[in-house]
Amino acid sequence: MTRVAVSARLPVFPWDRLEPYKSAAAGHPDGIVDLSVGTPVDPVPEPVRRALAAAADSPGYPTVWGTPRLREAILGWCGRRTGARGLDHANVLPVIGSKELVAGLPAQLGIGPGEKVAYPVPAYPTYEVGALLAGAEPVPYRTGPGGPEPTGLENVPGLRLLWLNSPSNPTGRVLGVPELRAVVAWARERGVLVVSDECYLELGWEAEPVSVLHPEVCGGSAEGLVAVHSLSKRSNLAGYRAAFLAGDAAVLGELLAVRKHAGFMLPAPVQAAMVAALEDDAHAEEQRERYAARRAVLREALLGQGFSLRHSEASLYLWATRGEPCWETVGGLSKQGILVAPGEFYGPGGEEFVRVALTATDERIAAAVRRLAA
Ligand SMILES: Cc1ncc(COP(=O)(O)O)c(C=O)c1O
């Protein structure tokens, strides 16, 4: 019997296709401005570094559930930032960066062949990957503007899990309370678990993002709901791998049981660093202001060059179009030394868009703005 490689089940890793444009952009005399990936470039906040260093002497195994102190810090943050009420330690679980969780969740919940995982399009590609790794069927859906239900999902037998992502990567779209409430009611009626990826929750610009755990959305109960949060963007901790879940205790209890067997533990110094990050909102506000300033100038420069923006009301991205195929836009901007991500990477709906990330230094953003204005 010929063995089929697992990677053969997965989509082609698309970033290699960007390489020629990256080389073209790198040829600019003043260097490349890389706005293609959303990787933080600003410093790790000082209190977080201190906490990491102070916990350097950690010879023993950490626990998968995290220290009680970490769970308290997560609960404190959830209360302040999501408005969730009534959560306890059984309602939270640290994870080793949210990408790991997104890719592994369907399999860890025992979702498999014959079952379905729904994800919004265009979207962060890992929702589809997680379904495929589990052997389940990924089902893309669109949430219609103001539509009460995830359109296209009215009759999907075998649907077990539905991903939400607000604010969205790549579009920056924010789903309001009525839309979120409708999705939650729809899913609860059908016994479908809703997992809401909210890693950009604190990065709303022209709209106030709302968590699925907010009482106005969930009715004060986390039943059938899990929110995914990450410190990668909020606290510049992408390099630490620090994220967590909050929501339905039964779901998280099952995940904890499975993840204990697999040894999915956050390193103890990272747990300590997470506590420091979650207990301090000042650095997150400072970082938010940096992004707001970058967004304002980049937005003006793109509009001035004939781009229109769709959504883009939150997150770390501008979702921009010139009404042409995305690769033409990528090619044009690369000649100005600016690299952006083609919308096609994010699935249907992205064909004529590019995703412009705000994650570059002030100096590089200023260079992009100068080039766009030239
Ligand atoms: C929507 C979304 N979810 C999850 C992640 C993963 O973040 P991390 O693994 O750093 O927590 C990202 C990263 O860009 C993202 O955009």
Q: Are 337 and 32 in contact (CB under 8 A)?
A: yes
Q: What is the model's pLDDT at position 150?
A: 66
Q: Is 165 in the pocket of ligand 1 (CB under 6 A)?
A: yes
Whole-number Å distance, alpha carbon 30 to ligand 1 midpoint, is 30
Q: Whose CA is closest to atom 1 on ligand 1?
A: 169
Amino acid identity of residue 251, one-letter, is: V
Tens of pLDDT along 307-322?
999 999 999 999 999 9
Asked if residue 99 has its Cβ within 6 Å of ligand 1, the reply is: yes
What is the whole-number distance in angstroms between the Cα of residue 98 and the centre of ligand 1? 6
Question: Residue 228's pLDDT band (boundaries 50, 70, 90)?
Answer: very high
Residue 265 and residue 229: Cα distance in Å, rounded?
17
Q: What 3-state DSSP class applies to 336?
A: coil
Residue from 163, 196, 197, 230 to probe ligand 1 pocket by mutation (most atoms less than 8 Å from CB): 230
* 80, two tokens: 């302040």
Q: Please determine, for residue 149, whether its predicted confidence score (pLDDT) is greater than 70.
A: no
Closest CA to 340 of 302, 291, 373, 297: 302
Please tell me if the CB atom of residue 198 comes closer than 6 angstroms to any atom of ligand 1: no
Please give the share of the chain, as a percent, with pLDDT higher than 70. 97
Note the pTM of the prediction, 2 decimals. Answer: 0.96
Task: For the chain, give percent helix, strand, coil, nearest 5.
Answer: 45, 15, 40
- Given ligand 1 and candidates 41, 95, 96, 98, which is best to mutate, with the most ligand atoms within 8 Å of its CB? 98
103 lines ligand 1 (CB under 6 A): no
